[in-house]
Structure 1
Amino acid sequence: MRLVIAGLLVVAAVVTGIVVNLRDPGVLVAAAAPLFGDWQPHLGPGTPAAVLIAFLVVAKGPELARHRFAFPIAYAASVAFTFSLAMVDGWGRFVTRLTTDDEYLHEVPGVTDVPAMIRGFAARIPDFQPDSWTTHVSGHPPGALLTFVALDRVGLGGGAAASIFCVLVGSLAVVAIPKTVGNTALLPFLVLFPGAVWVGASADGMFMGVAAVGIYLLTRKPLLGGIVLGWCLFLSYGLVLLAPLALVAVGRRIGWAVAGALAVVVAFALSGFWWLDGYELVKLRYYQGIGDSRPYWYWVWANLAALALVIGPAGIKGLRGDRWVLAAGVAILAADLSGLSKAETERIWLPFAVWLLVGAAKLDHPRRWLTAQAITALAVNHLVLTNW
């Protein structure tokens, strides 16, 4: 029944999106709504590799999940599958996704004084100023920009390095989540996670990997995990919604985790950036532009259709009363109802959506469900030219 409902939701979102776009182009700001991209069936140099990797994971994944080297194998497979999906659109598109005028790398050359940048960061969030931050930088705390500035400073500047970095870090979730929940049967499902389409390459894919590692560390080293999740707060304002997952992970050792997160918050505050000030200003910026033009009536339910494509049939079938799934669901519901997530949630919600696959590890006939996951990822990537 869940699959039928999800299928109908996707069909309704697609049909409604087509009708609205035909009547009033630009209203939804997404030609392939509910996904952010354009309807453009295509093949690319990554197609054969993506199909081959998917076939091998379906055929051998369940057995390899029990292998002594299951985790490094799964990580390598995830990187390869994500990169192959990206190459369906071509190398040129892959290396320029983070270099456009709306993206982080556009601002990197202008950051010559990091302390000054942090002190003046909030003032540049509102739009229509001579020095307003570009869209993605203004919509996130300074940690996201700092990440790409740091890459540039160590000699890994440019779009190619940034995109590869996002894939490598994002794929850490494939290892971190099974270690957190204690179930290696989850590994092949995470390798074929349809959300990999947007991990390669978006900064949100990188956020997903960092967040998953932070949640894992909470179960082992709460103070360190708190520090990592504190850093997540400065990668994206929305990652404050990791709180339900963090509470599940940390249990009674919450004090150490809170101390670690607060240390990061205090460090940024002493450097001149107060998170709450940034959050209030980013809400202003959101409604100065796309937030004001995208209709809530459509996206409040169409976002969930996009989510269904991100987690795939196995993710939908595996939705059950698991505490990790419930925690991720609470985070997603809060984000959806907030009105601050209208479109592009297929990438923005990656740090939460990936946890919805936890229940897939318990499905009967895993190869059938892995096949469904692979088909979903390949179909989306080949039918829609996504923006990420």
Structure 2
Amino acid sequence: MTATQSDETDIREELPRGASPAGRPRWFRDTAAILAAAALLLTSILVPFYGSPELKLNIFVLAPPLFGGVEPHGNYSTAVAVAIGLLVIAFGPWVARTLRWRALLAVTWIVGIAWTLSLALIDGWTRGISTQLDRPDEYLPTARGVTDIGRLISSFDSRILDFQPNSWPTHVSGHPVGALLSFVLLDRVGLGTGTRAGVFCIVVGTSAVMALCIAVRCLADETTARRLAPFAAVTPGAVWIGVSADGYFMGVVAWGIALLAVSATTDRARIRAFAGIGAGLLLAFGIFCNYGLTLMGVIAVATLIVARAWRPLLWAIPAALIVVAVFAAAGFWWLDGYHLVYERYYQGIASKRPYSYWVWANFAASMCAVGPAAVVGLGRALRRRPIARREAVVILGLAGLLAMALADLSGLSKAETERIWLPFGAWILTTTALLPPRQQRFWLAAQVLTALLINSIVRTHW
């Protein structure tokens, strides 16, 4: 069956337009999901302004629930972003159905890069890209001062705590040594300027769209992956992929999951081994970039459950242990760093940010990054049994949500989750493949509009 014929079958599966198995019209349930999300977002905006002055002061964001300030702005790149969005809305579903698979992956990535760059440049080249990673609290200024990589790793945890003369800056101290090491290596190979490192983060971060499509193709089928592609290309999360290190982290672990999916579904022993090793290396390196990425284990387990295969662990686990062993031999023990970061976390504004607000407002912030189409897709994943081949995106989407919930309950995520939870939100985005073909353009328009409104009204910190 061709992709076009399969899509026609999918349309028939969505018909008739009457009641769902639960007895309510499908449009009613989709509308309910959007209204619930809108209510959560509106509440997260209004509560700080109508709550106590202490709450408004201590949430430490000026455009709740997003980290940034309300400052409408725009320039030539606004028009570029609108043009890209309109092209994807008009032609994205058709291109996704008709283009050859490898060409589709390349086009999706290229569009994702163009979309992310156009959004970042709405803030101007300097603020939007070249200085984002060059601020004093970011990685690059520190990375340029590192002269001995071995000493950096072995002494890293001694500088995590604050209120000492040689404390690491905020972002450096809040992450394992792999995050800073990444930027030290970028500096060593000539990519240590703000512009070059920023573009690097965009390129790696947006490559996650290919990883998502490959994983879904392996675990579901090609038609489902094709339905995801346009939504992956113009995700609202691009507002924070360009430019933040979390976009880079997202790309690293997304490819780890994609390789795990390849390893779990291939019949070729050599590919299974190499993909399993690659998955273990990337996912393990991910936890040395961001402590919270240990929760990618939830999505990794979901991947193996969907594939009904555990053999990749024979390759992935030893590879992951090698990464842990290398860092330990160099002098950085992950658990020691984690306990010190927990203490550092409450040395700063996190000790004042009210958990009673952020425990639910975190989801409102992250919802802005996944967009309304993913909200509806997640609603569909939660409410009814999917068509058999789409079980994969249901499980992956729910795994992404579970990872967010666990991060939230830890108490170590208070604000900025629109950026920090990008690696988890990417897998919620896969549920957009559940949207029927006849609605794709409408929901693509909603995604594009969400990104444009956020990037043009809020001056985000990233």
Q: Same fold (TM over 0.5)?
A: yes
Equivalent of residue 345 in structure 1, options 402, 417, 437: 417
Per-residue CA deviations over 1:332-367 (Å, capped at 9, x if unaligned) read 000011110000000000000011011111212100
Do structure 1's residue 314 and structure 2's residue 373 form an aligned pair?
yes
Equivalent of residue 110 in structure 2, options 72, 76, 85: 76
Q: What secondary structure, in the 3-state scheme, does the structure 1 residue paired with 2:76 have? A: coil
Task: Note if contact 1:45-1:90 (Cα within 8 Å) is conserved in structure 2.
Answer: no
Do structure 1's residue 92 and structure 2's residue 150 form an aligned pair?
no
Cα distance in 2 for partners of 1:264, 1:223 equals 11
Q: How many angstroms does 1:23 deviate by?
A: 6.0
Task: Note if contact 1:17-1:34 (Cα within 8 Å) is conserved in structure 2.
Answer: no
In the alignment, which residue of structure 2 is the partner of 1:26?
57
Cα distance in 1 for partners of 2:404, 2:67 equals 18
Q: How many angstroms does 1:164 deviate by?
A: 0.5
Per-residue CA deviations over 1:98-118 (Å, capped at 9, x if unaligned) read 111111112112210000000
Do structure 1's residue 370 and structure 2's residue 405 form an aligned pair?
no
Distance 1:241 1:105, change over 3 A: same
Q: How many angstroms does 1:71 deviate by?
A: 0.8
Cα distance in 2 for partners of 1:226, 1:352 equals 18
Cα distance in 1 for partners of 2:280, 2:55 equals 46
Equivalent of residue 55 in structure 1, options 79, 86, 90: 86
In the alignment, which residue of structure 2 is the partner of 1:239?
293
The one-letter amino acid of 2:212's match is: I
Cα distance in 2 for partners of 1:367, 1:37 equals 30
In the alignment, which residue of structure 2 is the partner of 1:195?
237
Cα distance in 1 for partners of 2:192, 2:117 equals 19
Task: Note if contact 1:102-1:134 (Cα within 8 Å) is conserved in structure 2.
Answer: yes
Task: Note if contact 1:18-1:33 (Cα within 8 Å) is conserved in structure 2.
Answer: no
Per-residue CA deviations over 1:181-234 (Å, capped at 9, x if unaligned) read 111210100111111100000000111111111101112211211111111011
Task: Note if contact 1:212-1:351 (Cα within 8 Å) is conserved in structure 2.
Answer: yes
Runs of 4+ residues over 4 Å off in structure 1: 20-25
Equivalent of residue 291 in structure 1, options 341, 345, 350: 350
Matches within 5 A, 1:1-40: 1-20=32-51, 26-40=57-71
Cα distance in 2 for partners of 1:219, 1:103 equals 33
Q: How many angstroms does 1:312 deviate by?
A: 0.9
Cα distance in 2 for partners of 1:189, 1:293 equals 37
In the alignment, which residue of structure 2 is the partner of 1:252?
310
In the alignment, which residue of structure 2 is the partner of 1:158?
193
Task: Note if contact 1:18-1:32 (Cα within 8 Å) is conserved in structure 2.
Answer: no
The one-letter amino acid of 1:59's match is: A
Cα distance in 2 for partners of 1:272, 1:33 equals 40
Cα distance in 2 for partners of 1:295, 1:23 equals 10
Cα distance in 2 for partners of 1:70, 1:36 equals 34
The one-letter amino acid of 2:112's match is: S
Equivalent of residue 430 in structure 2, options 355, 358, 361: 358
The one-letter amino acid of 1:122's match is: D
Task: Note if contact 2:139-2:180 (Cα within 8 Å) is conserved in structure 1.
Answer: yes
Q: How many angstroms does 1:45 deviate by?
A: 3.0
In the alignment, which residue of structure 1 is the partner of 2:156?
121
In the alignment, which residue of structure 1 is the partner of 2:25?
none
Unaligned runs of 5+ in 2: 1-31, 218-224, 263-274, 383-393
Q: What secondary structure, in the 3-state scheme, does the structure 1 residue paired with 2:450 have? A: helix
Task: Note if contact 2:211-2:254 (Cα within 8 Å) is conserved in structure 1.
Answer: yes
Q: How many angstroms does 1:18 deviate by?
A: 2.8
Cα distance in 1 for partners of 2:183, 2:458 equals 28
Q: How many angstroms does 1:267 deviate by?
A: 0.6
Task: Note if contact 2:366-2:419 (Cα within 8 Å) is conserved in structure 1.
Answer: no
Distance 1:116 1:86, change over 3 A: same
Per-residue CA deviations over 1:57-107 (Å, capped at 9, x if unaligned) read 001100111311111111000000000000000101021111111111121
Cα distance in 1 for partners of 2:347, 2:142 equals 20
Cα distance in 1 for partners of 2:175, 2:39 equals 34
Task: Note if contact 2:65-2:415 (Cα within 8 Å) is conserved in structure 1.
Answer: yes
The one-letter amino acid of 2:71's match is: Q
Task: Note if contact 1:227-1:264 (Cα within 8 Å) is conserved in structure 2.
Answer: yes
Cα distance in 1 for partners of 2:181, 2:66 equals 28
Equivalent of residue 215 in structure 1, options 247, 252, 257: 257
Distance 1:95 1:22, change over 3 A: farther
The one-letter amino acid of 2:33's match is: R
In the alignment, which residue of structure 1 is the partner of 2:335?
276
In the alignment, which residue of structure 2 is the partner of 1:387?
461
In the alignment, which residue of structure 1 is the partner of 2:136?
101
Q: What secondary structure, in the 3-state scheme, does the structure 1 residue paired with 2:202 have? A: helix
Give the alignment's TM-score, normalised by structure 2.
0.82
Give the alignment's TM-score, normalised by structure 1.
0.98
Cα distance in 1 for partners of 2:288, 2:206 equals 20
Task: Note if contact 1:20-1:28 (Cα within 8 Å) is conserved in structure 2.
Answer: no
Task: Note if contact 1:17-1:32 (Cα within 8 Å) is conserved in structure 2.
Answer: no
Distance 1:128 1:4, change over 3 A: same
Unaligned runs of 5+ in 1: none
Q: How many angstroms does 1:376 deviate by?
A: 0.4
The one-letter amino acid of 2:142's match is: E
Do structure 1's residue 135 and structure 2's residue 170 form an aligned pair?
yes
Q: How many angstroms does 1:2 deviate by?
A: 1.2
Cα distance in 2 for partners of 1:315, 1:243 equals 22
Cα distance in 2 for partners of 1:7, 1:287 equals 31
Distance 1:24 1:300, change over 3 A: closer
The one-letter amino acid of 1:327's match is: A
Task: Note if contact 1:215-1:246 (Cα within 8 Å) is conserved in structure 2.
Answer: yes
Give percent identity, aligned residues only. Answer: 48
Task: Note if contact 1:118-1:272 (Cα within 8 Å) is conserved in structure 2.
Answer: yes
